[in-house]
Each structure stands twice: as structure tokens, then as C-alpha cells.
Amino acid sequence: MLIPVILSGGAGTRLWPVSRKAHPKPFMRLADGQTLASATVRRALGAVECGETLTVTARDHFFLTRDIYREAAPEATHHFLLEPVGRNTAAAIAAAAMWVREQHGERARLLVLPADHLVRDREAFEAAVARADKLAADGWLVCLGVTPTHAETGFGYIRAGQAIDELGQRIEAFVEKPDADTAQRYFESGRYLWNAGMFVFRADAILAALREQAPDILAAVEATWAETDTGGDPVELDAGRFEAVHSDSIDFAVMERAPKRAVVPMACGWSDIGSWQAISELYETDGSGNRIEGPGHAVLVDSRNTFVQGSERLIAAVGVDDLVIVDTPDAVLVAKRGRAQEVKSVVEELTRRDHESAVYHRTVHRPWGNFTVLEDAEDCKVKRLVVKPGGVLSLQRHEHRSEHWTVVAGTASVRVDDEQLELGPNHTIEIPAGALHRLENRGDNDVHIIEVQTGSYFGEDDIERLEDVYGRA
């Protein structure tokens, strides 16, 4: 059995301000309207016959990922391993291999895919997976290598060697990101493939390779597994043990030194969507080289080779060349196209300043729904809450703020201390600082609430959760 294992981690800092720590790259919507996460899960299921997936992700991203999967592939069964902290791909794959071994036996194979890549030619991808699976069944550790379309300095490379049964080739070496001249030589030689971070291997084979090449990582993940309740779904890895795992990629920890390793070439229209330059190439260009997401949202006058993405406000540019302009409700990015990879420096500076825009959008997703910040001033904060049917906010209280709720739509079941109320549209309620309170949607339609906070501090860390159906207390 071949099991898709989707790795959904990282912050996607090069795609700020759309990708942020609390809403990273897999949740971005592309030109066709679907998220990278939904495209990945469909692609993964199309390449296997098992009808199930395993995703390794952070707990904070579990609920939104689950909802995206349910919409994208409702017919499949989706399992999750939740990491308390990120420890790179070696630890994530080790834990996934243990889950696959436990559920399907040690000879079951893993199809490891990043959640945030794009593949345009699914038939070519599926054919490559089928070849890789045959090699993996014989104990090979297999990389899916992308046939280069140009000399690229932003990717690592795999040097392919001797052919293996017309299925793939032995891996001679992994090569770090080259300079421009070296990348051109690699491209012209025809011997090098882009390392896309996609793998196929048997559970027992990758665990044996980890034991030989990275015994410290495997031992730490085994200790984590021993302390983890693996009978539930999702499986939450033990925090105390997992924090002690050494952080390393599967490339460095295993693949660069493993003796039985292979690569299957594929020309599948792959992109890692690693920068705004890559995003811009998904859109049609006009006669001046400009690319615009939603032509009604931008007016470009005497401008060339400029990419514009926005969702709400009209964007106008006059006499500009080679720019990336990205507009979101709370932040605007303007960058030279050739320096789009440096956007991560903006996020580093925002993080140093402890600025919320490094982490959150104006709209923040929660297990029960979402909230949008409408105003954030020194004397008040205003939000619009949308609570899904069955959604339940935690039983909580705040030390520094009071809240005033007005129901806009739906019926909200509200508890304030010992009082239980059913509030419909236009009903309001005051929640003093220190009061225990909870909101629940027991109906079949979304509940919309306008929340006005007043007090001395409005940060999200001023929440003391006493009970929570989503395990956050």
C-alpha cells in the first residue's frame, strides 16, 4: 500500500503579506481559486489507490487543514500527526513512518509531498510516482526529481547516474544551490534534476536508514512515540519529548549518505511557489509584460513587467517598471521583481518589532470559525466573529478587557458566569472583565457577532481558557 504523507509546515515568509505564520503558504488561493493544500491533497489521492492521507502539521493549522481537505476530497479518509514544534523534515518523516508502520505494516510505502508546491501535469506526476513506487517496494529510497526547464540558482540539484531497470537512476550526489554559471552548466549537461523534496520509500527502509545515518533523530522520535497516545485521530506528538529532537532535513540527515538511493525524473510543470516572482508566472501577461490578478483591481499606465495582486482596493501605478505590488487589507508590499526572494527580511524585521502582521491577517481562523479585526485603536478593538454550526468558543475570561456582543445573524447560545441565554439578531450582551463566558452555535447556519472590546489591553494572550472542546485549555 502506498500512503500519501503531506508535510505542511513552515511560514512561507517569502510570500508575505499573503502568507503569514498563522496562515501560511498552503492556505493561499491561487489563480484558479483553490488553495495549495487542496491541490496537493487531490494530487496525492490521484496518485494512489488507498483513499487515505496522512498530514504532518502544527496543531494551530489542523482545523483549517481538515476543513480544506473535507471540501477538496470528501470521499477520502484524512489522518493527522500534530507537531508541538517544528523540527524539519527528518523528524516529521520519522514520525509518519512509525504511524504508517503501525497502521499498515512495515512494508507499506510513503509518498512524501510538501503541501505548498504546484504541479500542472498530473498525468506525468502520477506516472513518475508509479515508477518510484516499484523501486521503493524493492527497498530503494527514491526522490522524485524535476527535469529542469532553465538554469535556476534557487533550487538544490540531484546528479543522476546509472539507470535502474528503466524505472529511475541511481543518485550520484546532492548539490546545494549553485551560482548562475554553475546552474547553466548543470542545465546544459542533462545530468542534473531539481530536488523538489518529494520522496517514495518503504516505512521499514526509511526507518532503517534513519537508524544508520541519523540515530539521534530516530531515537528521539522513538522516545516521543512511546510517550504519545497513538490511538486517537489526530495524533498529537508528546511535546516534552519532541522538543528535544534535533532539527534537520531528510536530505542532510539521510539521503545524502544513504547507500541505496534513486531518483525518478519527471517533467510535470512543477513549481515550489517560493516567491512572488513564481506566483506572477501563474498569470497571463499583457503586451507590456504586466501581470494582474483580477484586472478590475488595477490600472497600470505606462508601466512594464509589473505584477499586481489585490483583493479589495483599486491599485493604480504610473510609469513603473519591474515591480511586485501586493495589497492586503492591513499591509502593502512593493518590491523589485528581481529582489522578491528578499521579502523574508521584512518578516524578520516585523518579528523583531513584535508586530502582529508577521503572524496574523486581519481575518484569523479558529477551530470554531474565524474573526476579522474591523478596528484596532488604543481605546477599543472591534471584531466580527463568524461561528460555524456546531462551533463552540472556549469557556474563558479576560483580565484586562470587557466585551460587548451584538448578534447580527443566527442564534447564539451564550453563557456569562451562571446565566445561560439564547440571543438572536439585534440582541446584545455585556461581558465584564473577569466574567466567565462562552458562545456556542447550536443551529444550522453561521452565527455572526460584532464584538466591541474596551479596556487597557486587547492582545490575544489575554485569554484564560478553562474548558475547550478543541483541546486548547
Do residues 83 and 180 both lie within one domain?
yes
Do residues 129 and 241 both lie within one domain?
yes
Question: At residue 155, what are phi and psi to the nearest 5 degrees?
Answer: -120, 155
Q: Indicate the DSSP class of residue 338.
A: G
In a domain, 94, yes or no: yes
What digits encode the pLDDT tens for the residues 39-58? 999 999 999 999 999 999 99
Give me the pLDDT at residue 296, please. 62
Give the number of domains in the chain.
Answer: 3
Do residues 380 and 403 both lie within one domain?
yes
In a domain, 352, yes or no: no
Contacts 24+ apart (CB under 8 A), 336-340: 337/276, 337/277, 337/280, 337/305, 337/306, 337/307, 338/277, 340/14, 340/275, 340/276, 340/277
What digits encode the pLDDT tens for the residues 248-268? 999 999 999 999 999 999 999
Residue 291 has pLDDT above 80, yes or no: yes
Boundary (domain end) residue, out of 271, 292, 320 = 271
What's the mean pLDDT when you consider all of the chain? 94
Do residues 125 and 42 both lie within one domain?
yes
What digits encode the pLDDT tens for the residues 410-440? 999 999 999 999 999 999 999 999 999 999 9
In a domain, 392, yes or no: yes
Boundary (domain end) residue, out of 271, 287, 311 = 271
Tell me the CATH number at 419.
2.60.120.10
Q: Domain containing 304: what range?
A: 276-343
- Prior bond to 234 cis, omega within 30? yes
pTM to 2 decimal places: 0.90
Do residues 169 and 88 both lie within one domain?
yes
Tell me the CATH number at 256.
3.90.550.10
Do residues 92 and 168 both lie within one domain?
yes
Question: At residue 235, what are phi and psi to the nearest 5 degrees?
Answer: -95, 120
In a domain, 355, yes or no: no
Do residues 16 and 44 both lie within one domain?
yes
Lowest mean pLDDT among 146-160, 198-212, 292-306, 356-370: 292-306
Boundary (domain end) residue, out of 248, 271, 294 = 271
Residue 294 has pLDDT above 80, yes or no: no
In a domain, 351, yes or no: no
What digits encode the pLDDT tens for the residues 312-341? 889 999 999 999 999 998 999 999 998 988
What digits encode the pLDDT tens for the residues 202-243? 999 999 999 999 999 999 999 999 999 998 899 999 999 999
Give me the pLDDT at residue 472, please. 83
Check if the beta carbon of residue 306 is closer than 8 Å to that of residue 293.
Answer: no
Do residues 338 and 216 both lie within one domain?
no
CA-CA distance, 324 to 307, in Å (whole number)? Answer: 5
Give me the pLDDT at residue 140, please. 97
CA-CA distance, 288 to 306, in Å (whole number)? Answer: 9
Do residues 217 and 318 both lie within one domain?
no
Check if the beta carbon of residue 308 is closer than 8 Å to that of residue 318.
Answer: no
Give me the pLDDT at residue 295, please. 56
Residues in the chain, total: 473
| Strands 77-83, 52-58: pairing kind | parallel
Do residues 218 and 157 both lie within one domain?
yes
In a domain, 357, yes or no: no
Do residues 25 and 127 both lie within one domain?
yes
In a domain, 353, yes or no: no
Do residues 250 and 306 both lie within one domain?
no
In a domain, 140, yes or no: yes
